[in-house]
Amino acid sequence: MNSKRRKPRIGVFKFASCDGCQLSLLDAEDELLDVAAAVDIAYFPEASRAMLKGPYDIGLVEGSITTHHDAGRIQKVRKQCRTLITIGACATAGGIQALRNWVDTAEYVRAVYATPKYIRTLSLSTPIAEHVPVDFELRGCPINKNHLLEVISAALIGRKPNIPTYSVCVECKRRGNVCIAVAQGVACLGPVTQAGCGAICPAYGRGCYGCYGPMETPNTAALTDQFRILGNDGSQIRRAYRGFNAWAWEFRKAGEECE
């Protein structure tokens, strides 16, 4: 790196989310000093009190849009970031909170909050890309910290990040796992889910929960048929698709087709 060149400035922004994805950056302990040396972490309220004003070269956005206030705020964030990267299932698909999209939000507000009039919320939880143009979507619940470093490194060098979009099965077989769908009859979302986690759940005998959202060409109809053959009814199959990426288009469609 040319030391005379201004270091790229990074901003980390949070919307409706659990913070787990932005914590992945802090979780990258071995690489954190390198990241700090390569970039200027200008805005990252979770990590530092120093909150420098924009513009930013790279904006990392976590969380979904669930309030009028956030719908306005994301427009301002977009204007301040040259490259906008959304991180995690909330930002890329609406997150687990998108389960509200199938229910009467007003009724839930009345049932949950003592003083419902204080709550101002949208009826839908939506991904960032439904509101502003996004340069790259990094999937996962939570994201893989190595992916985050890869995306940052690639953005700094100006190359395409190596983030696979094929199925979890490819990673699962490379890892040497025995297919739990075939050998145990487990309903596993692996074949329709994007790789990235390293096939953790199947390695421990659990079906894939679909944390990384739909893979590049998901055939959910064929998988749904197979889930039925394995003895699952419509409500069980719908629940499988309605996880962290429930509102991602293909999972949303697949879940609704089980109604």
| Contacts with another protein, residue ranges (CB under 8 A) | 1, 31, 34-35, 37-38, 149-150, 152-153, 156-157, 162, 164-167, 169-170, 173-185, 188, 190-192, 205, 215-219, 221-223, 225-226
Minimum gap (Å) between residue 42 Cβ and another protein: 16
Q: Which is nearer to another protein, 89 or 199 (CB)?
A: 199
Q: Which is nearer to another protein, 1 or 52 (CB)?
A: 1
Q: Which is nearer to another protein, 72 or 185 (CB)?
A: 185
Minimum gap (Å) between residue 168 Cβ and another protein: 8
Sign of CA dihedral 135, 139, 141, 146: negative
Minimum gap (Å) between residue 119 Cβ and another protein: 41
Q: Which is nearer to another protein, 15 or 251 (CB)?
A: 251
CA distance 189 to 72: 35
Minimum gap (Å) between residue 205 Cβ and another protein: 7
Q: Which is nearer to another protein, 100 or 139 (CB)?
A: 139
Q: Which is nearer to another protein, 96 or 155 (CB)?
A: 155
What b-and-e string marks burial along 136-167, b requiring 16 or more CB atoms within 10 Å of the CB? bbbbbbbbbbebbbebbbebbeeeebebeeeb
The tokens of 233 are what?
């009814």
Minimum gap (Å) between residue 4 Cβ and another protein: 16
Minimum gap (Å) between residue 194 Cβ and another protein: 11
Minimum gap (Å) between residue 80 Cβ and another protein: 23
Single-letter amino acid code for the residue at 203: A
Q: Which is nearer to another protein, 20 or 207 (CB)?
A: 207
